[in-house]
Structure 1
């Protein structure tokens, strides 16, 4: 992972074999990021996204192991239990032109991944909400 900070913004380049979520969590910890907006694109060959079933209060995974292009990735960095908490959604294009996406669980870089974090001064913790079964922002 290579990155450069420009005031409130951080430009990130992930390299082959790096996992997106764990790399960004490491960066957030290292740079003291407690609240940020995330956007990015890139090439991956392992991609796991989920859809949340509100009635079942459970995520259903869709796992892809093929060449994919992340056409859109966005979300937030917040905190839960004093640690960085990443909540990202991503869409990725397949070789046949179809697109898959959802709540990002895992993405391993196959060529490069370019990400921008726009940090915001402040802290936004998360809490588990029994009614939804989700970790919600405490705002």
Structure 2
């Protein structure tokens, strides 16, 4: 993965991250968030994946159900955020993937390997976001 700082002023930083064939998306995003000390960011991306694992949060069981996607797909939409969970950055990403036949599959991105590229824009905000454990869902949710 390559990256470049595109803009910085008044606490706002904008980065471009370019993932290449074989790069793993979620671990790459988390490593970058830690290295750059990102604490409250918005993530958008487009590109393609050679395989992925998505997940659906099942409300009754309070667990993520895996959705394997063992095929080449287009990343039609990737949206997410980076917020602090305690003192560590946490990356939360949703994705819609397009299949060869035009159908789509979506959910939480748990893992994905890039082929040939994934173009990511990260906007770091001057006001940081924090996650707090929500008792009802069992999830760490952003609390402004």
Same topology, TM > 0.5: yes
Is 1:128 aligned with 2:125? no
* Offset at residue 122 of structure 1 (A): 2.7
| 2:76 alignment partner, one of 71, 78, 98 | 71
Q: Which residue of structure 2 aligns with residue 102 of structure 1?
A: 107
Alignment partner of 1:104: what SS?
strand
* Offset at residue 49 of structure 1 (A): 1.0
Alignment partner of 2:102: what SS?
coil
Question: Where does the alignment leave 5 or more consecutive residues of structure 2 unmatched?
Answer: none
Alignment partner of 1:25: what SS?
helix
Instruction: Work out whether residues 21 and 106 of structure 1, in 8 Å CA contact, stay in contact via their aligned partners in 2.
Output: yes
TM-score by length of 2: 0.92
* Offset at residue 45 of structure 1 (A): 1.2
Counterparts of 1:46 and 1:122 in 2: how far apart (Å)? 35
Counterparts of 2:57 and 2:44 in 1: how far apart (Å)? 21
Counterparts of 2:97 and 2:66 in 1: how far apart (Å)? 15
What do the CA deviations read for 1:85-139 (whole angstroms, capped 9, x no partner)?
0111000111111100111111110110000001101322212222112111122
Counterparts of 2:117 and 2:51 in 1: how far apart (Å)? 13
Q: CA RMSD in A?
A: 1.1
Q: Which residue of structure 2 aligns with residue 38 of structure 1?
A: 43
Is 1:82 aligned with 2:58? no
Instruction: Work out whether residues 91 and 101 of structure 1, in 8 Å CA contact, stay in contact via their aligned partners in 2.
Output: yes
Number of aligned residues: 139
Instruction: Work out whether residues 25 and 84 of structure 1, in 8 Å CA contact, stay in contact via their aligned partners in 2.
Output: yes
| 2:66 alignment partner, one of 57, 61, 69 | 61
Alignment partner of 2:38: what SS?
coil
